[in-house]
Amino acid sequence: GQNIDQPTEMTATEGAIVQINCTYQTSGFNGLFWYQQHAGEAPTFLSYNVLDGLEEKGRFSSFLSRSKGYSYLLLKELQMKDSASYLCAVKDSNYQLIWGAGTKLIIKP
Amino acid sequence: IAGITQAPTSQILAAGRRMTLRCTQDMRHNAMYWYRQDLGLGLRLIHYSNTAGTTGKGEVPDGYSVSRANTDDFPLTLASAVPSQTSVYFCASSEASEGDTQYFGPGTRLTVL
């Protein structure tokens, strides 16, 4: 079967750094997405990785290791507005997105 | 309109009733999708459309139907609602069908009693 694993919830302090991990087992791999979802709102696109390595975009970075079936999202200089759920999704061999359940990130002052 | 809109925002529905959730996009995207999101579960694909005039079944299609008469609109119909269809429904679109970045509408919160 296809499976995406993420921690259910994480807590971090404002101004700190947090890493949200995602491991996957899917039928094929054609890329990995990270989305942010604030409570009661729609998911919004954050990043896309298809090759191994780190993609940096401002305070957010995303890393991929295809051989390990592993990705992480790194958030630096945390702000209160970063309190949200972070969704990992993998594009499988049929180009369908398989979604993780999401990681709820709680930022404390 | 900018992006994707969904209607209604929320709805309470009696079991057995028929309901259509509306979705419209103005980005001229070819592909559109319907997902449901339940607590503790990832987004689950209900139905999708790679281009106007075509539709396909996702992971959880039972009890739902869709149509894609034109590029902009992709309504989702519950023929006879059941309580297990209580969920938040998101419509999304992407420029192409092959796993392009998906852009989501604001969602419809549906409660079936």
Q: Half-sphere exposure of A74 toward its Cβ, with a 13 Å CA cutoff?
A: 13
Query: How far, in Å, are A8, A108, B40, B54, B72 from residue A104 at the CA level?
Result: 6, 13, 11, 36, 33
Query: In the predicted model, is pLDDT for residue B41 greater than 90?
Result: no
Q: Is pLDDT at A3 greater than 60 in this prediction? A: yes
Q: How confident is the model at residue B3 (pLDDT cuts 50, 70, 90)?
A: very high
**CA dist A29 to A94, A97, B42, B83, Å?**
9, 10, 18, 35
Interface contact A22, partner B, CB < 8 A:
no
pLDDT digits (tens, 9 = 90+) for A87-99: 999 998 888 889 9
Which residues from B are below 8 Å from A101, CB to CB? 40-42
Contact A36, A46 (CB under 8 A): yes
Could you tell me if A89 and A95 are in contact, meaning their C-beta atoms sit under 8 angstroms apart?
no
Mean per-residue pLDDT of chain A: 95
Percent above pLDDT 70 for chain B: 97
Would you place residue B60 in the very low, low, confident or very high pLDDT band (cuts 50, 70, 90)? very high
What pLDDT score does A4 carry? 95
- Residues B59 and B45: their CA atoms lie apart, in Å, by 5
Cβ <8 Å between B105 and A95: no
Select the residue of B40, B44, B99 nearest A91 (Cβ to Cβ).
B99
Q: Report the residue of A96, A98, A104 to disrupt the B interface, i.e. the one with the largest count of B CBs within 10 Å.
A: A96
Kindly report the nearest CA distance between residue B43 and chain A, in angstroms: 6
More confident residue, B31 or B1: B31
pLDDT digits (tens, 9 = 90+) for A25-54: 998 999 999 999 999 999 999 999 999 999
pLDDT tens digits for A67-85?
Answer: 999 999 999 999 999 999 9
Identify which has the larger pLDDT, A1 or B58. B58
Distance from CA of B6 to the nearest CA of A (A): 11
B26 pLDDT exceeds 70? yes
* Chain B contact for A31 (CB, 8 A cutoff): yes
Mean pLDDT over A1-29 rounds to 94
Judged against a pLDDT cut of 90, whether residue B99 lies above it is answered with no
What pLDDT is stored for residue B96 in this prediction? 83
